[in-house]
Amino acid sequence: MTSPLTVAKGYLAAFAAKDLEKLPSFIGDPFRFKGPMMEFENSAAFIGAMKEIARTWQCEHKIFREIERGNDAVLVYDLVMAAPIAQTATMFEWYRVEDGKITDIRLMFDTATLKMPS
Cβ proximity of 88 and 110 under 8 Å: no
Region of residue 5 (left: phi > 0; alpha: psi -120 to 50; beta: else): alpha
Question: Nearest 10 degrees: CA dihedral of 46, 81, 107, 38?
Answer: -50
- Taking the whole predicted model, whether its pTM rises above 0.75 is answered as yes
Q: 35 and 106 in contact (C-beta within 8 Å)?
A: yes
From residue 34, alpha-carbon distances to 21, 40, 42, 84, 86 in Å are: 22, 7, 11, 23, 24
Per-residue pLDDT tens, the chain, 118 aa: give them: 689 999 999 999 988 888 888 989 999 999 999 999 899 999 999 989 988 887 787 888 899 999 999 999 999 999 888 777 788 899 999 999 999 999 999 999 988 887 776 6
The pairing of beta strand 39-40 with beta strand 87-98: unpaired
Side-by-side strand order, sheet with 58-69: 39-40, 27-34, 101-108, 87-98, 72-83, 58-69
For domain 4-110, which architecture applies? Roll (3.10)
State pLDDT tens for residues 85-104. 788 899 999 999 999 999 99
The enclosing H or E element of 12 equals: helix 4-16
